[in-house]
Structure 1
């Protein structure tokens, strides 16, 4: 009988070890961004080529039969080619609570969590902290087809007011495994809140001077803005209150159990409070690997 407590302790330790897991995820991507400057006047829009590196160390802990806690440390780096003021580094932490409503692969899965990231841009005014809250409800409808509804909230506290933004976003996405190698995905979402836009002074000066009408003049005079020179001499960065619609599609090749190669297209349409529109598009090719 004296052996029972030590045996129970060993069994509990074994179960705890079996119920937890560690994973390292690495990713790299190359993106061509149309109107990366998020400019309303198309002739002055600035395109860019982006190179990204991402890493995350993930710990998963089984809390109960249908509950899992995920904790991650994340790091990222982005190079924006000739617009070097936007080169950035990020370091943060993320935690997610996952609940499965039953057993098997086709039960609904609910995830909710939060993240905090320190973001260091080369341009001082853009530096700050990003706070995120997020949730998703996903369902595998067949062995090959999965759908999910998503919601998120984000607040970026920046050094300068034009880059200090708050937004909420809801969306739908779906994924289809056509074969063991090829997966297709698509999704759409809508954002309400604030984003950062940019304009050449030749355009923004007209807005401030009433060249586009009194409504535009009144709005652009009141929102936070500053001359940043980010996209050229005299360029202005400013914060807009807006609605933004996103849609994306991607195809991914599974090279192995641990490595995939996604090709993605994303379109973004932003309309601010006074009806001014900003359209952007992003083409990216990446590689993801899990250890």
Structure 2
């Protein structure tokens, strides 16, 4: 767990100091298990790992109109992996969001728009870069217990550096990624202490899969680069794919400021040439609001 301690301890110390100063709105601690971290198709390429992540978010809100509110937020997070420490990373982001509520009361529908930019710093330098996101969403509480949301998101990831090409005719910008995502979600209050949530996401865009040399993936790829995070003779391939994801979670309210969520997510990606992979992710999240 050396990698986990290396990346999380500085952030834990900083977050504690900032929270005492009253600058953090909420903090989150997550334990995550991913059974197909490199997004491999063949059994020889599938590797699992556990990660610990901590995140903090703070910001300021501005009431522009009676029903319109603008929010500026800053986030800081860090993730450490048990085995594949090259994936350890620290992220810092800033976001701007506008929410408009069409009426008064908890059942009134609302629309949201947001943009964000996040700096990504990995232990493996080849993955360093920026992540940009723009979102449009609508939400409506059908009853006091049931709420529904729909969100469209455009994401663009840009790397700092691009590795040398392995072949003159094949690009190496495997971490320059673009995607469009549409998500339908909902939550249902089971009782005063428990909330059930679910979401379905359809993603169209670039994916990255790390494998041993693989001719079918090579033929379907638009970029290839060496990836030693998962061992020698491993290569990262970028491809266009359609990805479907489904998630389910149950949250337990601990007190007025804290909650614990247990969640499961299933991911299914399919690219041209019969390339596909599946992944299962299980997570436990402790959230504290200040």
Instruction: Select 1:181's aligned residue among 170, 182, 193.
Output: 193
**How far off its partner does 1:22 sit?**
7.4
Gaps of 5+ in 2: 1-21, 163-172
**How far off its partner does 1:58 sit?**
2.2
Counterpart in the other structure of 1:233: 232
Report the TM-score when normalising by structure 2: 0.86
Counterpart in the other structure of 1:164: 176
SS at match of 1:261: strand
| Separation in 2, partners of 1:251, 1:270 | 25
**How far off its partner does 1:219 sit?**
2.7
Q: State the Cα deviation string for residues 231-267 of structure 1 (Å, max 9, x = none).
A: 1111111211110001000000010111110000000
For the pair 1:121 / 2:122, whether they are aligned, the reply is yes
| Separation in 2, partners of 1:51, 1:83 | 12
CA RMSD of aligned residues (A): 1.4
Report the TM-score when normalising by structure 1: 0.86
Counterpart in the other structure of 2:111: 110
Instruction: Select 1:194's aligned residue among 190, 202, 206.
Output: 206
| Separation in 1, partners of 2:147, 2:24 | 23
Counterpart in the other structure of 1:269: 268
SS at match of 1:39: coil
Larger gyration radius, structure 1 or structure 2 = 1
Q: 276-285 or 22-31: which moved more? A: 22-31
Counterpart in the other structure of 2:277: 278
Q: Aligned pair in 2 of structure 1 residues 22, 91: CA closer, same or farther (>3 Å)?
A: closer
Counterpart in the other structure of 2:43: 42
Counterpart in the other structure of 1:56: 57
* Residue-pair matches, total: 258
| Separation in 2, partners of 1:107, 1:22 | 30
Q: 266-275 or 91-100: which moved more? A: 266-275
Counterpart in the other structure of 1:7: none
Gaps of 5+ in 1: 1-20
